[in-house]
Structure 1
Amino acid sequence: MSADNKYTNDAQQRLLKVVMLLGEDVITGIAPAQIAKALNVPAPYVTRDLDNLKTAGWAIQQEETGRWLLGTKAGALGVKVMASIDRADRKVSEARNRFTRSN
């Protein structure tokens, strides 16, 4: 293992890939078999990953179809990121205004 990736963990990397896949279809969701195929991993890995995401609020399973969707935590994070960017933008605008005002 090289120094560049000594902290990289395959299971954690796969979990992030599952989140990205779930983000591709937030309306109808994605079947676990599709996830396993897309990631080229055994189905039990996907089952464990989805269960962990569900526990953390990052994924929900549709009862009627068995397909999986992003959970509310993903949306909440997006809202927080945009709010943070908006706050930073306001501060930049305030600084710009201080330097461009004519005295």
Structure 2
Amino acid sequence: MSDKHADKHIHDNGSQRRILDAIRVLAGHELHGLAPKDLVAALSTSPASITRDLHNLVAAGFAEQIAETGRYRLAPGLVRIAIAHATAMERAQNRLTETINRYRTEP
């Protein structure tokens, strides 16, 4: 078995991984979006695969098509998930800091 396949897991799925990679590629292009051909190039895949992936991302509310240009970008709902995560981490950090400060204070 070659090294390339050594880390292959029984549950690996190329289509699912590609759609997750598409989300990563779309990240940072929220203003102008990316054309499907840009995703084809970035993910080294076929136009038909990108068409399916984009359809599923839009249907799930993770991406949206910009009407004026036909390009795609991450949808606000997916970005809100990232913001909610960052907010939760900040709250957790604040709580930890408060606890540490409470234990540092002498009675």
Q: TM-score with structure 2 length normalisation?
A: 0.88
Q: What is the alpha-carbon distance in structure 1 between the residues aligned to residue 66 and residue 60 of structure 2?
A: 16
Letter in 1 for 2:80: A
| Other-structure match for 1:22 | 26
5+ unaligned residues in a row in structure 1: which ranges? none
Alignment match, 2:44: 40
Q: Which runs of 5+ in 2 are unaligned?
A: none
- What is the total number of aligned residue pairs between the two structures? 103
> What pairs up with 1:30-69 in 2 under 5 angstroms?
30-69=34-73
Corresponding residue SS for 2:23: helix
Same amino acid, percent of matched pairs: 29
Question: Match for 1:48: what amino acid?
Answer: R
Quote how far apart the aligned CAs of 1:82 are. 1.1
Amino acid at match of 1:12: Q
- Paired letter, 1:64: E
TM-score, structure 1 as length reference: 0.91
Is the aligned partner of 1:5 residue 2:9? yes
Deviations 1:59-101 (A, max 9, x none): 0001121100110122111111111111211221121012100
Partner residue, 1:93: 97
* Runs ≥4 residues deviating over 2 A: 1-4
